[in-house]
Amino acid sequence: MTLSDDQVDQPITLELELLELAADLGFHETGVLVKPRESITLKMPEDNSFQIIGEYQNLARSLTPGELDQPGSNVVMAVNIAAVAVMLRSGRNDDAREELHTLVMAADNLQESVLADYQMDLLNDIR
């Protein structure tokens, strides 16, 4: 399968936008997280990318333990948004779409309408 220029360029653009949103919400990707994220490529076998995505999520959660339980904290959402960025990087657009849709609903439930609307805009950009 050959990817068009749009398919190759789009995930990186959305990836960076998602990572910026995660940072705005309080999650800051450290060097220890950058390395596994950057090791993922579109041509990587699905099992390998799935394993790295899981490791990224677990490591991200372990690096922000005190912040995860604070009332009013969006760090949990931010960690999951960063994971969506990693899913996009791997080309797992359906998984990224599903996870981001869940995060839109979570933001709605938290009455974070601006965040929910912004996430919905990003969701609509995933092809």
pLDDT in tens, 18-60: 999 999 998 888 889 998 888 888 878 888 888 998 899 888 8
Q: Among residues 76, 89, 78, 75, which one has the least CA distance to residue 15? A: 89
Which residue's structure tokens are 């959402």?
A: 77
**Cα–Cα distance, 94 to 105 (Å, whole number):** 17
Which sign does the torsion angle of CA 120, 90, 28, 109 carry? positive
- pTM value is 0.81
pLDDT in tens, 110-126: 899 999 999 999 999 99
Q: How far apart are CA 97 and CA 64, in angstroms?
A: 24
The rounded distance, in Å, linking the Cα atoms of 63 and 33 is 9
Quick one: pLDDT at residue 113?
Answer: 95
